[in-house]
Amino acid sequence: MQPPVQKNQLITAEITDLTHEGAGVAKIEGYTLFVPDSLPGEKAKIRVVHTKKDYGYGKVEERLEKSPDRVDPLCDIYGRCGGCQLQHLSYTGQLKYKQKQVIDALERIGGLSDVKVLPTLGLEYPWIYRNKAQVPVAARNGELIAGFYQKRSHQIIDMDHCLITDETVDEIIQEVKKIAKETGIPPYDETNHRGVLRHIVVRIGRETGEVMVVLVTKTNDLPHRKTFIRGLTEKYPQIKAIAHNINSKRTNVIFGETTKTIWGRDVIYDRIGSVKFAISARSFYQVNPQQTRVLYEKALEYAELTGQETVIDAYCGIGTISLFLAQKAGKVYGVEIVPEAIEDAKANAELNGLDNAFFEAGKAEDVIPAWHEKGIKADVIVVDPPRKGCDEALLKTIIAMKPKRVVYVSCNPSTLARDLRILEDGGFQTIEVQPVDMFPQTTHVECVAQIVLN
Alpha helices in 115-190 (DSSP H): 167-183
Q: Is there binding between residue 337 and ligand SAH (CB under 6 A)? A: yes
Shortest distance, position 397 Cβ to ligand SAH, whole Å: 12
Pick the closer one to ligand SAH by CB: 340 or 432: 340
User: Nearest-CA neighbor of 297 among 327, 324, 333?
Assistant: 324
Binding mask 368-407 for ligand SAH (x = CB under 6 A): ----------------x-x---------------------
Q: Is there binding between residue 336 and ligand SAH (CB under 6 A)? A: yes
Distances, alpha carbon 379 to alpha carbons 12, 333, 413, 432, in Å: 56, 12, 25, 19
Choices 97-105, 230-238, 337-345, 398-406 (CB under 6 A): range interacting with ligand SAH: 337-345
Between CA 273 and CA 293 the distance in angstroms is 7
Judged by CB under 6 A, which of 49, 254, 338, 393 binds ligand SAH? 338
CB atoms < 10 A from the CB of 113, how many? 9
Residues in contact with 82: Cβ distance below 8 Å, sequence separation at least 6, in sequence order: 148, 149, 150, 151, 152, 153
Greatest pairwise CA separation for the chain in angstroms:
67
User: Nearest-CA neighbor of 257 among 267, 247, 249?
Assistant: 247
Judged by CB under 6 A, which of 97, 148, 315, 359 binds ligand SAH? 315
Backbone angles phi, psi at 372, to 5 degrees: -60, -45
CB 196 within 8 A of CB 219: yes
Q: Is there binding between residue 284 and ligand SAH (CB under 6 A)? A: yes
Q: Is there binding between residue 316 and ligand SAH (CB under 6 A)? A: yes
Judged by CB under 6 A, which of 5, 102, 214, 321 binds ligand SAH? 321
Q: Is there binding between residue 345 and ligand SAH (CB under 6 A)? A: no
Shortest distance, position 311 Cβ to ligand SAH, whole Å: 13
Backbone angles phi, psi at 145, to 5 degrees: -125, 160
Pick the closer one to ligand SAH by CB: 271 or 363: 363
Judged by CB under 6 A, which of 51, 320, 397, 450 binds ligand SAH? 320
Q: Is there binding between residue 205 and ligand SAH (CB under 6 A)? A: no
Active site residues: 411
Binding footprint of ligand SAH on the chain (CB under 6 A) = 284-286, 315-317, 320-321, 335-338, 341, 363-365, 384, 386
